[in-house]
């Protein structure tokens, strides 16, 4: 029996060191060497001021509600918007009354922020993504907001549209996914364009 226990404890100790210490250190080291930006959370650093500060991650959406900024997708990670610790969808189906009410409320908020806009509201401005943390919106969702942002900033709509076009990312490898706009990068570009 002691032989079996000793073998079990030796195996436990070796596997703990191998899989709990050496393997994570090796993976972290390789990631830091080959992909340091991604391994550190794809942080976007806002330059300027007394010190450079992280503005956020390119991979996690952030809440923007000021009319002078583009707004991202709603988050299903409530009660706090874009809570990365609570990544999940709402699991509400298309016939669920709570989802219908939330979408109607979001449409009303968008219309209240820009009452002269008669364009149809893009779906990604009123529904959350599967993770609830999507940092991107569609080019149509960005275009829907151009007039409001231009008016709030006192800028020309065409200048804002050009900025949206510059920030629009194409399909990955030319065929995967859809064109998209990272809201944080767009808003930082807006601030820098002043």
Mean pLDDT by runs of 10 across the 194 residues of the chain is 92 96 95 90 74 81 90 77 69 86 91 93 88 88 96 93 95 91 94 81
pLDDT score of 75: 81
pLDDT score, position 60? 85
DSSP SS3 for 134: coil
Q: Report the candidate in 23, 48, 28 with the shortest Cα–Cα distance to residue 38.
A: 28
Q: Report the pLDDT value the prediction gives residue 125, as an integer from 0 to 100.
A: 92
Q: Is the pTM of this model over 0.85?
A: no
d(CA 130, CA 101): 19
* pLDDT, position 192: 86
Domain ranges across the chain:
2-37, 43-193
Token pair 């340091």 in the structure block, residue = 36
Buried b / exposed e over 70-100, threshold 16 CB at 10 Å, is bbbbbbbbeeebbbeeeeeebebeeeeeebe
pLDDT of residue 92: 80
Query: What is the rounded distance in angstroms from the CA atom of residue 44 to the CA atom of residue 62?
Result: 12
Check whether the bond before 79 is cis (ω within 30° of 0): yes
* Cβ neighbours for 177, distance < 8 A, ≥ 6 positions apart: 171
Residue labelled with tokens 């194409």: 170
């Amino acid at each position: 029996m002691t032989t079996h226990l000793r073998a079990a404890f030796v195996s436990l100790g070796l596997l703990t060191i191998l899989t709990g210490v050496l393997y994570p250190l090796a993976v972290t080291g390789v990631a830091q060497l080959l992909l340091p930006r991604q391994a550190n959370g794809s942080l976007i650093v806002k330059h300027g001021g007394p010190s450079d500060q992280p503005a956020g991650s390119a991979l996690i959406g952030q809440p923007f509600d000021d009319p002078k900024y583009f707004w991202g997708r709603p988050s299903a990670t409530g009660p706090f918007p874009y809570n990365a610790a609570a990544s999940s969808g709402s699991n509400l189906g298309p016939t669920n009354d709570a989802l219908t009410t939330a979408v109607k409320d979001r449409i009303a908020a968008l219309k209240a922020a820009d009452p002269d806009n008669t364009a149809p509201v893009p779906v990604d401005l009123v529904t959350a993504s599967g993770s609830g943390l999507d940092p991107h919106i569609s080019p149509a969702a960005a275009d829907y907001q151009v007039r409001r942002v231009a008016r709030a900033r006192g800028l020309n709509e065409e200048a804002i549209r050009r900025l949206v076009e510059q920030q629009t990312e194409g399909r990955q490898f030319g065929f995967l996914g859809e064109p998209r706009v990272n809201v944080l990068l767009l808003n930082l570009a807006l601030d820098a364009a002043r």
